[in-house]
Structure 1
């Protein structure tokens, strides 16, 4: 049975302050925890699960694992409907210095605030083979439980870094392709897209920050399909949706 102090400590990991202080985050669900167990790059601190999960899974002897009741699992879960298992995982150290940019696409996220959007962007990036995502320092934190949940395990396969995007862009080789979705951009269906480069995805409501737009040398526009007889149109696309459309086009090159 979980003690009150242990429940309090695990529950505190729903807050960024305590994740940073303890160097731990929470991952939930059979699929995600199974992948973590199979991935040597991630260190599981402890697993809490109900009996039926342990009946189907073997946990290595070096990982602390505890059987809990569904009621206790709900007390430490961040989900409305708790899954069978919850893992407390060590946050790995990330070093941005050795990112390879040539012959691949790299995402830059500029002040993405919605955890669900970030998780979806991660999952989409993983699908299209993006290896690295660089986030502005004010982008929602990777280890937010909602980001982890929405990524469906993709956080394990895509490297995520936090850095000043302006400083990063200033260090790019001269003429290196830097793309961004903008209203004044070229129709993506007709544009000659580069075979490598940076793709900047802007904030959900404000788009790409003005101090970053000067670094964009490939301005792209996803055209609106103005259906006949329709008078009102959305003024923008969801950031995660725009990211998926652009990555789909880039994957053809």
Structure 2
């Protein structure tokens, strides 16, 4: 059963200020909490229904996490989800990795002020699908630990490293020959594009503003997705999926 203090603490983590101060965030729902317990992430506390605890008893024991059993109604009352009949975990934010330069032959997504949490979560999932293990975000990009980002990522936040830094500084630290592909409405068709090397940076801007003029000079190749209809643009996550798919196809 949830105490009033526990409920207050969990509801506080709905807010960015509390997440920053406590360096903790929420993970909600059966599948993603089960994935979390099987990972090496640091889980501070688990709140779960008897059904969840019975089904995942081995994982819970293996993780060594402190657990509070509660009803689905109690979970839902402190959850950011419309309903939660399984589990909610409080997770410690991991230390920021010191890893400025990407590995050779690897793709990295660079995000220039992506403000929508659902888009960032989808971008994490897309990166995970295509084996891209790192996303570098501008400081103005929406917060990784926003519950909507975590929910939209469907567990991919566990496998994709995300860090925030001024993108100018990130590009300054790259080796001189690193390819930086910029996604634009004009540019070379991704269908015809043939990279000169494996790996590089795929830079994506917001749907509303695109890549900022300050970063345009960093782009070594403008690429685009050819349109066959009258839509003005694509959602940034949809565009990223198409571009990543083509890049992987080209390299295979």
| TM-score category of the 2 structures, normalised to the smaller one | over 0.9
Q: Distance in 1 between matches of 2:30 and 2:161?
A: 22
TM-score, normalization by structure 2: 0.94
Q: SS at 2:162's partner residue?
A: strand
Deviation for aligned residue 1:99: 4.2
Q: Distance in 1 between matches of 2:101 and 2:144?
A: 18
CA contact (8 A) 1:107 1:199 kept: yes
How has the CA–CA distance of structure 1 residues 204 and 184 changed in structure 2, closer, same or farther, with 3 Å as cutoff? closer
Size of the alignment, in residue pairs?
Answer: 246
Aligned to 1:151: 153
Equivalent positions of 1:1-253 (< 5 A) are: 1-40=1-40, 42-58=41-57, 59-60=60-61, 62-97=64-99, 99-193=101-195, 194-226=197-229, 233-252=230-249, 253=251
CA contact (8 A) 1:28 1:87 kept: yes
List runs of 5+ in structure 1 lacking aligned partners. Answer: 227-232
Q: Which 10-residue stretch deviates more, 185-194 or 104-113?
A: 185-194
TM-score, normalization by structure 1: 0.94
Q: Distance in 2 between matches of 1:204 and 1:16?
A: 24
CA contact (8 A) 1:195 1:250 kept: no
CA contact (8 A) 1:113 1:204 kept: no
- Tell me the alpha carbon deviations over residues 72-128 of structure 1, each in whole angstroms, 9 at most, x when there is no partner: 111111101224111111100112335433111001011111111111110010010
Q: Distance in 2 between matches of 1:210 and 1:83?
A: 47
Q: SS at 1:251's partner residue?
A: helix
Higher helix share: 2
Aligned to 1:229: none
List runs of 5+ in structure 2 lacking aligned partners. Answer: none
Deviation for aligned residue 1:184: 2.5
Query: Structure 1: which 4+ aligned runs deviate by more than 6 Å?
Result: none
How has the CA–CA distance of structure 1 residues 175 and 99 changed in structure 2, closer, same or farther, with 3 Å as cutoff? closer
